[in-house]
Structure 1
Amino acid sequence: MRKNTRYATTALGLTVALALTGCAASAPRDGNAAAPTSVVIDTAFTLETGDPGRNYVPTGYMVSKAVYETLLDFAGSDESTPVAGLASYTANDDATEFTFTLDTDRVFSDGTPITADDVVFSLNRVKGMTESKANFLMEGIEVTKVDDSTVVLTTKTPSLKLPALMTNPSLAIVNSAVVIENGGTTDNSDAAEKFLNGTSAGSGPYIIDSIDFESQVVLTENPKYNGAETPDFTRVVIRSVSESATQKMNLEGGDSQVAIDLSGDQVAALGSNISVTSTPSAQTIFLLLNQNPAVSPVTSKPEFASAVRYALDYDALLELAGAGSEQATGVIPPSFLGALTDGVTQDLAASKKALAASGYAGETVTLEYPNDYPVGGVSFTPLAERVQSQLAEAGITVELAPAPFTTQIDEYVNGREAFSIWFWGPDYADSANFLPFAAGAKVGLRAGWTAEQNPAIVELAASAENATSMDQRAGAFSAFAQGLQEQGPFVPLIVPGSNIATAKYISGVSYNSTWTMDIAELHNK
């Protein structure tokens, strides 16, 4: 689970933010003015490195997507099927061998042709840097050069998720000769990060002009770029503005042209000179009920989870989320393969029956949650209060126990919370991201849910993981999601919206669950 984009750095005031750009923001077009050639983007920074192979945070992904390219890509907001990027691909019937054929016309920002050697080095560099947060993306994948334009990726078990993995900006293809010359290796001795923090070694439509990890990134056009994108903006400034209210003020005042992190309520209040792209995000907010009796003899009863599941009024909870949001129909969000069509509906009779079967005797259950970490504009405190009120109507007594994210995360990760609100987002655009909710898997164990407690769910997860056809895979993931809804210790609540607001003259905004927005797709209308 990657960190959410909000509250990442100290908020910059408006005056400071403007000073950091080094120039005035582009003025909107009118009938007598030339089209702006620069754009200012405000977002809550999660930026740790300019090295794509070490990157694992949302702002970093947005930057890497603009500067580097991957073997495969997605077309606009459609994340269902990867398309050709630097290469096209074919797969064998067992989904264990993937052959990538490079577009031999493509070059890096210094004019060097992109070859199979660059692909092999780039992917093996991430695989070998075990200290990199992105290292897991290459787990179990072997990379072999066939010739200068052909590379084969192999796995021991079926891996229909592999094409989606190859869209992740952490697996971008770098100029191997340049990176090796500046300390790059394929193991933990790699020392190229310092170089990549200030210099581009990619083939994307932009190159790095400057990076300040606390304040802003400046990108300029790559004069050697010869790919399919046709960006209208030759200069891009991405600023760290962690407070969404400040982002809104900057956008309305014309000091920025794009605001990434506005809530549903904020976008509803924007004027007619602002355009908004609202869509369900890929985040899922859910309740966790610990299945370990040592943690809680109450929540560990499967019937108690059912009682909670049917007690809630999901439409009333959704009112707190605003534009672009949807009820979570399961642990898999609606844009992913296997997502359920319909969510749970409130059924108080079913809730009371399950509650009686659980042996609940009126004990107070403590609901824990981070109170300083909104997800997609959804604050957890009013959500927790509404859950508390609804459960009280069903006969369940809940006490609220908010805490800062930094305190709460350790309790959650280590499986010590009996009843809590959390969220989950994908690391790459594939439903395999949600298999950790299975019994005995990472999130399952955070809920005290061992493989021995539900072998049927374990089997459903294995079927989804090892499917060798898309039809088989879709059915397997749907069965997995349905099994979790019926038997799991998780109660999915809300998929919050992604609301990207822009100046009226900007078009081309497409939400992506990994890199949020492709800067190169922004255009003047």
Structure 2
Amino acid sequence: MSSRRSTSVIAIGAVALLALAGCSGGNSANTGGDSAGSDSLVIDTAFSIETTDPGHTYDPTGNMIAKALYETLVDFEGSDVSTPVPGLASWEQNDEATEFTFTLEGDRVFSDGSPIEAKDVVFTLQRIQGMTEAKPNFLLGGLTITEVDDKTISITSETPLLQLPAILANPALGIVNSDVVIENGGTTDGSDTAQEFLDGTSAGSGPFVLDTLDLSSQVVLTKSDEYDGDEEAAYGRVVVRNVSESATQLANLKGGDSMVAMDLNGDQVSGLGDGLNVESVPSGQTIFLLLNQSEAVAGDLANVKIAEAIRYALDYDALLELAGAGAVQATGVIPPGFEGALDSGVEQDLDKSKAALAEAGYTGQTLKLQFPNDYPVGGVEFTPLAERVQAQLKDAGITVELAPAPFATELDAYVNGTEGFGLWFWGPDYADSANFLPFAPGLKVGLRAGWAAEANPEIAGIAAGAAAAADETQRSDAFTSFAEAMQADGPFVPLIVPGRNIATADAVTGAVYNSVWEMDIAEITPAG
């Protein structure tokens, strides 16, 4: 495995997936047949959206809609989430990466024509800080946000926070028109009641405004007449429909009833035929095995050397056969495309596996593999994946018993750290490698594996150094060291980074997957 940092630009990581709720099948948009050639854009996806209030949204579909309605201080270009760029504002930071100054650029306006000012930024972010129950609230923890003047905002952190620009690109932190939201129940003290208003009317500066919202069937957007940014909408009307079945999405796309299908699996995109295009890329989700290191949970199987044995026992190419288009091998706990990701993953080596088993003192005990059997990730079904892992480990002399359960049941065991051997997944909350430090001993995912900080002080120290780094080069090196150390001595076995497939009619272009907001609707234009 190589330690050189990955510099390739890969579309990465969806925010953590939530259960996809959907009941609609065919043309719930009432678009009247063939959508090509009209001023309307029809997009089919399986809904994961609870609101169009950016301060409460934190779901894949919700983020995509928020991106169309609201602008953020910081942005990313296309599918590249490796380098934050100015959105509404440019920024500077001190050498310690604890003080950031954002300056609003140009004379931008909201959808009602009123100017965007520093007070709107401060209200937006403090509103989310005040709503402790809001999903994006944790993104702004430990920050002090103040207005310097009409164009300038100061954000300070208690600790170095080089990832702050990447955090501020999240659509959940889209800037709202403070005057309008305050008039309709918006506050910063936790008593906010503006969500109902924002589920009916948008109050942002994005290229679109909200027309109608139906959480069970569709969201309709219309072009903003006041938009004065550099991403002007190419369509006057956009209908995002809740089509939960990928087969129905494919039929709609082939029949001309839609122009974009966001949830086709690898088999479906392998033979789309003429007139249709597909973008297949790795996501930021990582599917991995967890070996619990708590003797109270795993008994005499609580040995990190068993994880090492499993790492070298597996045939990763054979596992990838189950994942389909766009998927790649997970090279470590940091997936490809993120800073510090390793260039290549572990290769099967049965001699190393047997040596690790001997060092662990393994004598044929049965490992019970627990996993959710009703929750595919990126088109990857866990049951056939678990069966293939079981068969490969049997060939390597490791006995595995499968113990599937519904997601809701198994999630409690995973979160509470009571799984001895588990098959799970992890995705980033924002586009930065800091999202993967929780795998370290003593941190969230590490503790779910019964891996306390004292179990490996060296890796715990590397993670702490990466988190506290104020220098970009130092931080990048620390993430690489963390990824290497986790592959060598961690209780996790990274398996697969699933793919994401977005299929389109050849009448449109620009439908590109982005790990932060799924897809930028404003970038979709008529082909040619």
With the length of structure 1 as denominator, give the TM-score of the two structures.
0.96
The one-letter code matched in structure 2 to 1:23 is T
For the residues of structure 2 that align with 1:176 and 1:512, how far apart are their CA atoms?
A: 28
Q: Alignment partner for residue 97 of structure 2, among 87, 91, 95?
A: 95
Over residues 186-224 of structure 1, what are the superposed CA-to-partner deviations in whole Å (9 max), with x where a residue is unaligned?
132111001001101000000100001111100000110
Question: Does 2:26 correspond to 1:24?
Answer: no
Deviation at 1:246, TM superposition (A): 1.4
The one-letter code matched in structure 2 to 1:338 is G
Q: Alignment partner for residue 470 of structure 1, among 463, 469, 472?
A: 472
C-alpha RMSD over aligned residues: 1.2
Kindly indicate whether the alpha-carbon contact (under 8 Å) linking 1:104 and 1:149 is maintained by their aligned counterparts in 2: no
Q: Which residue of 2 aligns with 1:181?
A: 183
Q: Which residue of 2 aligns with 1:4?
A: 17
For the residues of structure 2 that align with 1:307 and 1:228, how far apart are their CA atoms?
A: 53
With the length of structure 2 as denominator, give the TM-score of the two structures.
0.96
For the residues of structure 2 that align with 1:461 and 1:3, how far apart are their CA atoms?
A: 21
Deviation at 1:399, TM superposition (A): 0.8
Q: Which residue of 2 aligns with 1:381?
A: 383
The one-letter code matched in structure 2 to 1:4 is L
Deviation at 1:160, TM superposition (A): 0.5
Give 1:431-510 correspondences, 5 Å limit.
Answer: 431-510=433-512
Over residues 91-110 of structure 1, what are the superposed CA-to-partner deviations in whole Å (9 max), with x where a residue is unaligned?
11111111111024100000
What number of residue pairs does the alignment pair up?
Answer: 514
Q: Which residue of 2 aligns with 1:31?
A: none
For the residues of structure 2 that align with 1:60 and 1:461, how far apart are their CA atoms?
A: 31
Q: Which residue of 2 aligns with 1:32?
A: none
The one-letter code matched in structure 2 to 1:221 is K
Deviation at 1:37, TM superposition (A): 1.4
Deviation at 1:125, TM superposition (A): 0.7
Deviation at 1:404, TM superposition (A): 1.1
Deviation at 1:10, TM superposition (A): 3.5
Q: Which residue of 2 aligns with 1:13?
A: 25
Deviation at 1:467, TM superposition (A): 1.4
Give 1:283-362 correspondences, 5 Å limit.
Answer: 283-362=285-364
Query: Relative to 1, partners in 2 of residues 1:171 and 1:10: Cα closer, same or farther, differing over 3 Å?
Result: closer
Deviation at 1:298, TM superposition (A): 4.0
Deviation at 1:138, TM superposition (A): 0.2
Which has the higher mean CA deviation after the structures are superposed, 250-259 or 117-126? 250-259
Kindly indicate whether the alpha-carbon contact (under 8 Å) linking 1:47 and 1:213 is maintained by their aligned counterparts in 2: yes
Kindly indicate whether the alpha-carbon contact (under 8 Å) linking 1:299 and 1:305 is maintained by their aligned counterparts in 2: no
The one-letter code matched in structure 2 to 1:405 is F
Over residues 35-81 of structure 1, what are the superposed CA-to-partner deviations in whole Å (9 max), with x where a residue is unaligned?
43111111111111111011111110000000000001001111111
Query: Relative to 1, partners in 2 of residues 1:27 and 1:182: Cα closer, same or farther, differing over 3 Å?
Result: closer
Q: Which residue of 2 aligns with 1:518?
A: 520
Unaligned ranges ≥5, structure 2: 1-13
Over residues 381-418 of structure 1, what are the superposed CA-to-partner deviations in whole Å (9 max), with x where a residue is unaligned?
11101100000011001111111111111111111111
Q: Which residue of 1 aligns with 2:4?
A: none
For the residues of structure 2 that align with 1:368 and 1:12, how far apart are their CA atoms?
A: 32
Give 1:158-169 correspondences, 5 Å limit.
Answer: 158-169=160-171
Give 1:108-123 correspondences, 5 Å limit.
Answer: 108-123=110-125
Identity %: 62
Q: Alignment partner for residue 226 of structure 1, among 222, 228, 233?
A: 228
Kindly indicate whether the alpha-carbon contact (under 8 Å) linking 2:70 and 2:174 is maintained by their aligned counterparts in 1: yes
The one-letter code matched in structure 2 to 1:12 is S
Over residues 304-354 of structure 1, what are the superposed CA-to-partner deviations in whole Å (9 max), with x where a residue is unaligned?
111111100111111111111110000111111110111000010010111
Q: Which has the higher contact order (CA 8 A, sep 6+)?
A: 2
Q: Alignment partner for residue 78 of structure 1, among 62, 77, 80?
A: 80
For the residues of structure 2 that align with 1:120 and 1:264, how far apart are their CA atoms?
A: 43
